[in-house]
Amino acid sequence: MTCSFRELCLPVGLADKEIEYLGNLINHKFKVRRGEYLTHIGSDFRALYAVKNGFFKTSVLKADGYQQVTGFYMTGELLGLDAISPEQHTCDTIALVDSEVCEVPFKKLEEIGQNIPSLMSQFHKIMSREIVQDRSIMMLLGSMRAEERLAAFLLNLSARLARRGYSPTNFVLRATREDIGSYLGLKLETVSRAFSRLQEEGLITVNIKHVTLHDVDRLNFRVGNSAD
């Protein structure tokens, strides 16, 4: 199997023969260099992309010309789910580091799903998780101060890394502070102050792009009580 689907999101729970069948049908992988676009707003939807390794951001261009960051995606996650219904990509997708993706032609995925019902079941779970995650973040951010927004963002990354077997408390932050601010609805200087405040409180340590979470329970408590 040319693409290591065992490391990605789709094959979870599939039998070895089913993974092999899937790998034989979906074996196109390619590199996306840092700063390059994987998808463009308005381009026709033909495939999903599983991030084999790397990190991406999605963004939209607002009426005033401002680029609004709408999400971040890491190894093991799927890109392009937003394009299924409109059949066009609704955002630009840009690599933040040199990355590699596996292309999953959507028509082929639907055909495979007819032969592997467990695959489609897993796919539906992934879509549901994306919806719940996006809704939770948006609901939380609406009532949060800057430090709580940043804490919620870091905890979200931590949980996603943990699901993929990476350290949930020590990781490299691939996104710039400007991009984080765009995503969280905060100015660049506000993001910098929020990092400093969390560090002063002993909750995190930041060394350039390397982040250490010292007390996940306290971070969760702070987020959960931010609206009080």
Chunked in runs of 10, what are the mean pLDDT values of the chain (228 residues)? 47 67 72 97 92 94 86 90 90 97 85 75 74 68 86 93 92 96 94 96 95 95 67
In a shared domain, residues 85 and 14: yes
Q: Which helix (H) or strand (E) holds 94?
A: strand 92-95
Residue 174 lies in a domain: yes
Q: Is residue 136 part of a domain?
A: no
Is 43 within a domain?
yes
Q: Could you list the residue range(s) of the whole structural domain that residue 177 is in?
A: 142-224
Number of domains in the chain: 2
This prediction has a pTM of 0.85
Q: In sequence order, which residues have a C-beta less than 8 Å from that of residue 124 and are 6 or more positions away?
A: none
**Are residue 117 and residue 205 in the same domain, yes or no?**
no
Q: Give kind and range of the element (H or E) at residue 14.
A: none
At residue 190, the pLDDT reads 96
> Which residues touch 14 (CB under 8 Å, ≥6 apart)?
22, 116, 118, 119, 122
Does residue 137 sit within a domain? Answer: no
Containing 166, the helix (H) or strand (E) segment is none
